Structure 1
């Protein structure tokens, strides 16, 4: 027979293993695990222990255990809330041995077993009586609490009525004492009757006595409450009547006229508070004026002034920047200045080694867990060297860099321009140079890949010198360092060059001052809400500070450093993620720590109002028709153009033709040019330089269209070079002759392509914008680049030929003389209109 374990024994006796082990431990058995063996002696010892603990063993026949559970319900409050009360009683009665019992004459009619039953009945009766008494006490306590609450409510109601009555002098009354035997109030008598009625059903005389005693107590409490209420009424009347029977309020003889200060924007609640009236009156007055507003809505200065005059007060207009000046005046950045680390951005063309260079610096110069490390959360890290520290900012391409400059912010101190020695200067290299020059940031050129066989560093110097970047060896002011991101050659020399460039700038900061810096990027996190990556340029940013960042504000709930860890504070030249803002500020917005959260909210609301006004005014600023309104002035007008084309040859031809149109009075400046579709970087650069965006056989992507629509930039599409040149020439000469303007009336996206033997390729399309017309010209776009221009051969809706298909509907399109339509292409339907223009 196999040996039984604790687990098997637990299954056999239908017990849980932990509970069985606990009982075996109480029985003195050494078993601690479910795999321990259980013998027959262990079972016998456990059985004896359980028998003793549950009333077994010697004398068990002379012991009886009674368990009683009683339940009752109590109704409290006017609404009839019911509380359930449960009382549990467990008692064990033991019959003493014959020798321990005192010798008493045994009743004739009672034997031993009958006596035991009688004792048990008496004990049961005593337990029931005690449980009933406890229930009555709980009911009495709940009823007394409810009566006290009702008495307080009646007293408060009487006080309110007394305050609302006319103040007529009344002689003070002396409260009359209430005797013990006076009749109670009606409600108390009713309560007593109800209590007595409950007691009549009980058999015991003691219970009725308890009910009578409780009724007398309730009467005494009711009488005492009446006396206290009378005393309170007398004291209130005495207080009002003191002083000759006159109240202290005096009605004004004439309206009070206040001088109300009105900022550029103010909420309805604040305006009502400054006039010392209710907000509902202001809302009502504005509604009668034809403006429906809410209590938290912000109104402009002119509207607020009209409302103040309508309400009979005197408006006082505050300057536009008075609110910001007041907030900024209270911030002091004075203190002991110390040198801070420079902020460096690495830029250059694709596949020239920017990422490899950053990775090598990270592995070689960043101590893991100490100085910092590159992370996906913040995109920045800190390098500690003997000559000083360097903060590298991993911005998402040139877009963030340009967006910061477009808003007048300066986040980067030095730019490292990476150029491959075997490839030379490329389009994005030229773009990086233009961005650095426009921002006035010093350049340090890193000639990378010098270890490759075809490397030619002198070629890079020659090509960069043609762009205005001249090395120190040739008499310029730009440092050139030949490096290899693969072998790490001259990496230390590159970092020393960055420190040398930063020493010339003499970068200083005051750590004791409030935090101040620039927003690098922001996003909306699903779990944490708005999260902004900021770069502290001066002072110290702490958790709990109130931050004002552009159009948004908030209290900093959490700070996350470059290692992804929570910190309490961050010093100068250090990036950090903050949580707690009420929105996502744009890249390049300045942030600062302020002292008052209310002031920060007012400044944010004011900036939001000004931003809307500036955006509306900017829509007319960069229009081609209004570019030459200052022709008669001394300074020459300037037309800035951001040019993008489909191929390099067309780009150079258009750029040269535009530059030749410049005269002494009007100049044409191509701010930026490149090959490919119009991107968000191009739109940001046009915004920063007030330029026109021109696309030749290319189109803008989604991000660029969003910026252009939001900022109201002028975007022009062309497919013929001389159309572009003629329009600019006519605008410059002032002879605004009729022009051909293209209007896109519909766009269809190719979802599938069907091949038919006699028809050819038929594109199954979905109309995503506008309306596709049968007899209008079309263009086929692939990745926002024009690949074909022509006409439609067929337009079908199911099996029927139609003349037009609207947005959101499917159709079949056959392109005339073109069978290379692919899935993902866009068919653009446009119309050319002739517009007469005049000065």
Structure 2
């Protein structure tokens, strides 16, 4: 960035010079005056200070609370009728600025949480393995118990069934035998119970080991969850409440966490069915564990809320809209506006801010800035054009000559003689309305001519002609001398830094005086060669042709000195001379090829318009296939009428042309928006008094873009502090029905310059009575508008003294009261006109006469040298020596 002064930097950032100097002093910079230069290092120092002072230092507040209060009204109906109640709503929102150290700690905690979660998954895997081992051990124990039972049953089956003993008399059996039998049965029963008890104990041991492994895994998972609080997942459901658990117990469901009882504590003796139920219960628990693990695996891919603010890279150009800046940072526009308010910049969402201000806002919000050029697309296109121009082979080309001068000095007539045609005879009012472009093959070589208008309204056209030419021929009438547009043409030629050749025209007239022309131009620092200067003066006559060959030789000699060259084997480049809208052919643009070759079918980009060249014509309307350097042509195929003076170029593809055209339109829109925003405050006081200024609304339609520009410029220059011209709409082409509708809505007058209204527009004009006027000479249009504005001016009120009477005596009348006897010393005293009473030449009363008499008769007027009696209405302090002055107020018409 280049160095700027303190005052310029203050304007850029939108702060006062005193405030900026104070901030620079606080930042440790030595600047003390508004004119001192500010380097890039000073800007960085100031930026670092502002960043520290706006929240990036350790002492800055970490929290900001915004309060908002809104009051609305609510109409309610009650016993006393309808009444209005004020409802006040208060809102408070707190924003916390997070410390980078906290963000780093959170990231570290997240890593530790991930590690803990991984450990928990490993513990769960180990628990699953332990559960599988316990299940296997339980299955083995159950199999062993079943095997023991089967073996006992088999032993019982193998033993031979005892033969039925004869019934014994229990009373006669020995008691010892009975005791042995009971002991045997008891041993069998104890063996069965021992086998079953052993199987159950082994199953319980496996279940305890499984629960222990699950408890260890759960402990590890809880520790990991306590280390960092993980974000909630959307599919997780809240765990069952204690009340729900109590309801489960009431309904008789087993409490699987309670330790199982033994023997009669379970309510019944152990059996094989208990073992089956225990095995099936463990299977159900295993299935639930697998289902839970599946849910947790799916839960890993659920939505998680972001935990840290992401810094992005924001592309900032020379100017950027507040809304676009907020969109790049993915924040609301209100936050960006709030940051701007902290910097002292009041802006809305559509307002454009400069690069320095945008940089401060982006860095303040914790993002990175990427400086980009706003004209990157345009610069790339210009580099491509320069590369194409450098790749071509320069060849000699014909000179482009612009004919300039005052109106009616013979510019077009001189060009007609050279072209052997009659262009001037077809021009309205004898003046050129457009820039004409012609190329002529003379005996001395080919020359391209640009004929510019000489009227005062076509200043912009003459300036464009001087910028797009190699040599300027200044035509001056020998019988008229140097005129205002002649001086203006000299200034345009000097501004464009092109050589000047003076053609002294109309030498065949009797009053021709070439020495007068030389003297007047020498006073403008245009010195002839025969007087020791560097400007060629050629006397010519467009009527007889005298001196025309010498003029052409002078032009070619000057072109040889300039060594004009241009490449032909590259894409065409040049300038738009004129453009118009043709009813049958669409937009038509007149181009002057300055380098390269333009061919039919090329993609042409001209200003903000682009299109394919569908047809190409020369100045005589004949179709041609290609045009080289210094050749003017007309092309058809653009999507609109480009502005006169725009640069055009042939591009490689339609997509590239559309991209550049869209970029230029967007840039023009941004520039216009920024200009409107800047002008709002400046025009505030003017808009407050806008109702006092009378305005003439007009709708202008012209045949070509250059004429439209000249008419609009001339109309806007008319007016003063009381009246002005407001151009509601302006365009190229015929008058359509939409133009008439716009004129009806705005109460405007329609001006058609070399164009006509179509049938639908004419019917609407007749029905609504719209004022439509056609013109083919620009000064007729300007004169009519000036006359209309003059009629809108309020007349000037001017007082004129018509008579003076001197008071000679004062007496009283019973009917009129005090009467002054006077002698008319000047003019005539009228009874119906207002008067003033003067004493010692000082006005002491202003009013009107109540009576005017000549002797005893009433009189309407009394002339100079006659006596009369005057009664002043509502005034009784007239004294001898006073003067009674009679005057009248006249309205004087004003003009611009």
TM-score, normalised relative to structure 2: 0.37
Q: Which has the larger radius of gyration?
A: 2
Richer in helix (by share): 2
